[in-house]
Structure 1
Amino acid sequence: MIPMRTGSEPATARSALRARFWLSVWGLVWATFGTVVFALVGRPGWAAACGVLWLVITVDMAVILRHIHQGPRWQPGPDVPPYPPPERRRP
């Protein structure tokens, strides 16, 4: 008997969280740099756009760090309903 999974992803699927983290760090550096430079040269619109981008990157980084700290074997609790099993298609 094959154990039923709760999703339609491959059984060995992994997310490159550390790569996403370092790309977020890189984006955070550039967004900070852009915000400061555009504010100094008197371009408030571009500074605000870089500031919003900085905020989005910061939230994304928090989510990434949360997932890293949960570990690779984290599973949702019993209060989370399972995904419906994938439908088998006949060739």
Structure 2
Amino acid sequence: MIGMRTGSEPVTARSALRMRLWLTVWGLAWAIFGAAAFALAGRPGWAAACGVLWLVITVDLAMILRHRRQGPHYQPGRDIPPYPPPEHRHP
């Protein structure tokens, strides 16, 4: 069950970008290591899989860094009322 929005979410919300950044860096290090290790071991399929993962992680890292550089965004204050509850709920 999803409760009604209280209106305090913008005040209490916190970004997980710092944690996501470090997890991405950790994954990037393992993807690079995996690609190199599998290439040296003569496993081109696994090396390619790690290379694709490396590419995805690099794009994610670029997005995280872009969002961190943008800084905080506008958050409505206490004078903004909460969203009204939906009129029709789907079971």
The answer on 1:42 being equivalent to 2:42 is: yes
**TM norm structure 2:** 0.70
After the TM superposition, which residues 50-65 of structure 1 pair with which residues of structure 2 at under 5 Å, given as runs? Answer: 50-65=50-65
Letter in 2 for 1:87: P
The structure that is helix-richer by fraction is 2
Aligned to 1:82: none
**TM norm structure 1:** 0.70
Aligned to 2:16: 16
Aligned to 2:26: 26
Distance of 1:65 and 1:73 partners within structure 2 = 15
Contiguous gaps of at least 5 residues in structure 1: 1-7, 76-84
Structure 1 position 74, deviation (Å):
5.4
Distance of 2:85 and 2:15 partners within structure 1 = 25
**Deviation sequence 1:60-84 (CA, Å, 0-9, x none):** 0000000000001258xxxxxxxxx
Q: 1:57 to 1:9 in 2, by over 3 A?
A: farther
Contiguous gaps of at least 5 residues in structure 2: 1-6, 76-82
Aligned to 2:85: 87
Structure 1 position 16, deviation (Å):
1.2
| Paired positions, count | 73
After the TM superposition, which residues 71-86 of structure 1 pair with which residues of structure 2 at under 5 Å, given as runs? Answer: 71-73=71-73, 85=83
SS in structure 1 opposite 2:64?
helix
The answer on 1:66 being equivalent to 2:66 is: yes
Letter in 2 for 1:64: I
CA RMSD of aligned residues (A): 2.3
